[in-house]
Amino acid sequence: MPAFLSLADAIGRHVEDGMCVALEGFTHLIPFAAGHEIIRQGRKRLHLVRMTPDLIYDQMIGMGVADRLTFSWGGNPGVGSLHRLRDATERGWPNELAIFEHSHGEMAAAFAAGAAGLPHGLMKGPMDTDLPQHQEGRVASVVCPFTGQPLKAVRAVNPDVTILHAQKADRRGNVLIEGISGAVRDAAFAARAVLVTVEEIVDDLAAPMNALVLPHFVVTAISHVPGGAYPSYAQGCYGRDNSFYVGWDAVARERETFLAWMQEHCISKPDHRAHLESLGVLA
Amino acid sequence: MSTAYTRDEMMTVAAARQLKDGDVCFVGIGKPSAACVLASMIHAPGLVLIYESGTVGTRPRVLPLSIGDGELAETADVVVPLPEIFTHYLQGGRIDVGFLGAAQIDRFGNLNTTVVGPYEKPVTRLPGAGGAPEIITHARDIFVIMHQSKRGFVDALDFRTSAGHLGGGGERRRKGYPGKGPSVVVTDIGLLRPDPDSDELVLVALFEGRTAEEAQAATGWPLRVADKLEVIAAPTDEELSALRSLMARTDAAHKAPIRIKLKQVQG
For residues A141 and A171, state if they share a domain. no
Task: Identify whether A111 is part of a domain.
Answer: no
CATH number of the structural domain spanning residue A225 = 3.40.1080.10
Chain B nearest-CA residue for A113: B83
Task: Identify whether A112 is part of a domain.
Answer: no
The number of distinct structural domains making up chain A is 2
Mean pLDDT of chain B: 95
CB contact under 8 A, B137 and A125: yes
CB contact under 8 A, B266 and A202: yes
Name the pLDDT band for B20 (thresholds 50, 70, 90): very high
Task: Identify whether B64 is part of a domain.
Answer: yes
Q: Which pLDDT does position B266 carry in this prediction?
A: 54
Buried b (16+ CB within 10 A) or exposed e, B205-243: bbbeebebeebbebbbeebbbeeebeebebbeeebbebb
For residues A245 and A139, state if they share a domain. no
Return the axis-axis angle of helices B237-255 and A242-253, rounded to nearest 10°.
Answer: 70
CB contact under 8 A, B132 and A103: yes
Environment class of B74 (CB within 10 Å of its CB; exposed 0-12, middle 13-18, buried 19+) = middle
Residue B75 has pLDDT above 70, yes or no: yes
User: With helix as H, strand as E and coil as C, how does chain B read?
Assistant: CCCCCCHHHHHHHHHHHCCCCCCEEEECCCHHHHHHHHHHHCCCCCCEEEECCCEECCCCCCCCCCCCCHHHHHCCCEECCHHHHHHHHHHCCCCCEEEECCCEECCCCCEECCEECCCCCCCEECCCCCCHHHHHHHCCEEEEECCCCCCCECCCCCCCCECCCCCCCCHHHHCCCCCCCEEEEECCCEEEEECCCCCCEEEEEEECCCCHHHHHHCCCCCCEEEEEEEEECCCCHHHHHHHHHHHHHHHHHHHCCCCECCCCCCC
ipTM: 0.96
Task: Identify whether A141 is part of a domain.
Answer: yes
Chain segment A100-149, per-residue pLDDT in tens: 999 999 999 999 999 999 999 999 988 999 999 999 999 999 999 999 99
For residues A95 and A204, state if they share a domain. yes
Q: Which pLDDT does position B267 carry in this prediction?
A: 46
Whole-angstrom CA distances from A199 to A46, A162, B45 are: 26, 18, 37
Q: Phi and psi for B55 in degrees, rounded to 5?
A: -90, 120
For residues A10 and A86, state if they share a domain. yes
E strand or H helix that includes residue A254 = none
The number of distinct structural domains making up chain B is 1
Mutate to test the interface with A, among B66, B161, B174, B247 (most CBs of A within 10 A): B66
Residue B1 has pLDDT above 60, yes or no: no
CA nearest to B82, candidates B51, B54, B55, B50: B54
Q: Work out the minimum CA distance from A82 to partner chain B, whole angstroms.
A: 8
Mean pLDDT of chain A: 97
Which range of residues forms the domain containing residue B114? 7-255
Q: Which pLDDT does position B2 carry in this prediction?
A: 57
Q: Which pLDDT does position A1 carry in this prediction?
A: 87
Mutate to test the interface with A, among B125, B171, B250 (most CBs of A within 10 A): B125
Q: Name which of B69, B176, B263 is nearest A199 (Cβ-Cβ).
A: B263
CB contact under 8 A, B133 and A28: no
Section A145-154 average pLDDT: 97
Residues of B in contact with A79 (CB under 8 A): 65
Task: Identify whether A231 is part of a domain.
Answer: yes
Chain A nearest-CA residue for B253: A242
Residue A227 has pLDDT above 80, yes or no: yes
CB contact under 8 A, B66 and A112: no
Section A25-47 average pLDDT: 98
Q: Name which of A52, A130, A183 is nearest B83 (Cβ-Cβ).
A: A183
For residues A221 and A171, state if they share a domain. yes
CATH number of the structural domain spanning residue B221 = 3.40.1080.10
> How far is residue A182's CA from residue A124's CA, in Å, rounded to a whole number?
21
CB contact under 8 A, A104 and B131: yes
CB contact under 8 A, B68 and A28: yes
Catalytic positions of B are 52
For residues A141 and A195, state if they share a domain. no
Chain segment B250-267, per-residue pLDDT in tens: 999 999 999 999 987 654
> How far is residue A66's CA from residue A56's CA, in Å, rounded to a whole number?
12
* % of chain B at pLDDT higher than 70: 98
For residues A129 and A50, state if they share a domain. no
Q: Name which of A104, A200, A240 is nearest B134 (Cβ-Cβ).
A: A104
Chain A nearest-CA residue for B159: A130
Chain A nearest-CA residue for B31: A78
Section B87-115 average pLDDT: 97
Task: Identify whether A106 is part of a domain.
Answer: no
Task: Identify whether B266 is part of a domain.
Answer: no
Residue A90 has pLDDT above 70, yes or no: yes
Residue B257, preceding bond cis, omega within 30 degrees? no
Chain segment A257-271, per-residue pLDDT in tens: 999 999 999 999 999
Section A238-259 average pLDDT: 97
Section B66-92 average pLDDT: 95
Q: Work out the minimum CA distance from A179 to partner chain B, whole angstroms.
A: 6
Q: Which pLDDT does position B223 carry in this prediction?
A: 98
Task: Identify whether A115 is part of a domain.
Answer: no
Q: How far does chain A reach from its first CA to its final CA, in angstroms? A: 33
Name the pLDDT band for A233 (thresholds 50, 70, 90): very high
> How far is residue A119's CA from residue A228's CA, in Å, rounded to a whole number?
33
Q: Which pLDDT does position A22 carry in this prediction?
A: 99
For residues A82 and A197, state if they share a domain. yes
For residues A194 and A235, state if they share a domain. yes
Q: Work out the minimum CA distance from A221 to partner chain B, whole angstroms.
A: 16
Q: Which pLDDT does position B10 carry in this prediction?
A: 97
Measured CA angle at B27 (ends B24, B33), to 5 deg: 120
> How far is residue A215's CA from residue A222's CA, in Å, rounded to a whole number?
12
Measured CA angle at B243 (ends B237, B247), to 5 deg: 145
Q: Which pLDDT does position B265 carry in this prediction?
A: 63
Q: Which pLDDT does position A209 carry in this prediction?
A: 95
Residues of A in contact with B260 (CB under 8 A): 226-227, 230, 237-238, 276, 281-283
Task: Identify whether B260 is part of a domain.
Answer: no
Domain final position from A155, A179, A199: A155
Task: Identify whether B265 is part of a domain.
Answer: no
Residues of A in contact with B64 (CB under 8 A): 78
Q: What is the CA radius of gyration of chain B?
A: 19
**Cβ proximity of A66 and A97 under 8 Å:** yes
CA nearest to B81, candidates A182, A24, A207, A51: A182
Which range of residues forms the domain containing residue A21? 3-101+159-279
How many residues appear in chain A? 283
For residues A71 and A132, state if they share a domain. no
Task: Region of A276 please: left (phi>0), alpha (psi -120 to 50) or beta.
Answer: alpha
Q: Which pLDDT does position B67 carry in this prediction?
A: 87
Section B33-45 average pLDDT: 96
Q: What is the pTM of this model?
A: 0.96
Chain A nearest-CA residue for B171: A128
CB contact under 8 A, B70 and A239: yes
**Cβ proximity of B85 and B11 under 8 Å:** no
Task: Identify whether B23 is part of a domain.
Answer: yes
Q: Work out the minimum CA distance from B154 to partner chain A, whole angstroms.
A: 17
For residues A74 and A187, state if they share a domain. yes
CB contact under 8 A, B254 and A242: yes
**Cβ proximity of A196 and A214 under 8 Å:** yes
Please report the number of interchain residue pairs, chain A to chain B, with beta-carbon separation below 8 angstroms.
217
CB contact under 8 A, B81 and A183: yes
For residues A146 and A177, state if they share a domain. no
